[in-house]
Amino acid sequence: MNHERSTTLFKLAKAAIPGGVNSPVRAFKSVGTDPLFIKRASGSHIFDEDNNTFIDYVGSWGPMIVGHCNPEVIKAVQDTMASGASFGAPTERETVLANMVIDAVPSIEMVRMVSSGTEATMSAIRLARGYTGRDKILKFSGCYHGHSDSLLVKAGSGAATFGVPDSPGVPADFAKHTLTAEFNSLESVLSLVSKNKDSIACIIVEPIAGNMGTVPPREGFLEGLRKICTDEGILLIFDEVMSGFRVAYGGAQEVYGVTPDMTTLGKIIGGGLPVGAFGGRRDIMEKLSPSGGIYQAGTLSGNPLAMSAGIATLSILKQPDFYKKLEEKSLAVADGISNAARKAGYPIYSTRVGSMFCAFFNKNEVYDWTTASQCDTQSFAKYFISMLEEGVYLAPSQFETAFVSAAHTDSDIENTIAAAEKSFKLIS
């Protein structure tokens, strides 16, 4: 497969853009090759600048649940664009989409639109601090909540106490307010809570971890977090930027029956356009400016193009049997890849929740960052490159989630499984 033009474009990009990309994982560094430059997409496929075709399981990192260039979404954006791309003023579309989100997500009684998932989590944490009058937050090792300063913190071993900055440019004074526990370990949470009595504003968690691969919550974990937060006056925030509207119309909180105090959402609610949102209980959300004193603002918040794309997308997701059919496709492809590995005698640990799935190059169970980090990333890189050469586009990292869309066909799934069979034989 020829990648000559992508290679040339990457060289040109590196002269103008740090690392040649505008978001680090796109650089393909963890798989030891140059990135593809994408020209266009349609349905379940993307096409690169060398005119190669790939079955896409990245889906712009999740939001393309109805497929690329869905005609209904395209029409909604085109119709809106004809009347103006941005006003910095209220539009009716904002209220329409807000009510669709409120109706869908159990925890959300009011919602504020923003422009990205990072902005949503950053704002939700500020609101939690303002509402509770507390400064500290608790997150989990391996859960990514955007690149704001307070959240770029790595964990120590076990139940770490205070975090340390995970990036130059993040002051230690910011990081010291961030506590880091182990995903799926209530013991690590209880230890931190007891040592920081009445000082933790919120616990923020991906209810289905999607940034260390796909790691589901163990039975009782989310329920335990809910009880701890209720007992200790801590707000529970579900970061559903990835899982929201992905694993069910009401997100992971619908799947597991646990209702947080606040929820953050990402660009799936804008059909893939730059958008995010955070919402929750009315008494919390009303503390936001201008109804309350906690400040948050954004010129592009509620952008008309994103609102229209979101209304069109959520209207499709509400159609009867949408998630049933998506579940069937996702089960087929995830099981097919797992079976391909088994046939080749290659040990992997496979996980899936709804249309999120991951093949961990690890013969043992993966349930937190410590176990995920033990994966054979070199073998994953070989597998990734082989799958790419077979026309299957996966996320260029062992620690990312794969996504299935409604546009994936039986033929796509069959071809993906055939590619996996060849790839696992290659690395066995």
Contact in structure between 369 and 346 (CB atoms under 8 Å): no
Give yes or no: 256 in active site.
no
User: Catalytic one among 56, 239, 261, 412?
Assistant: 239
User: Catalytic one among 261, 267, 367, 393?
Assistant: 267
User: Catalytic one among 144, 323, 349, 393?
Assistant: 144
Phi/psi of residue 377, nearest 5 degrees: -70, -25
* Strand partners for 141: 182
Give yes or no: 144 in active site.
yes
Label the pairing between strands 53-56 and 45-48.
antiparallel
Q: What's the burial of 16, exposed, middle or buried (CB within 10 Å: 0-12/13-18/19+)?
A: exposed
Give yes or no: 376 in active site.
no
The total of other beta-carbon atoms located within 10 Å of residue 161's CB is 13
Q: What's the burial of 99, exposed, middle or buried (CB within 10 Å: 0-12/13-18/19+)?
A: exposed
Residues catalogued as catalytic: 144, 239, 267
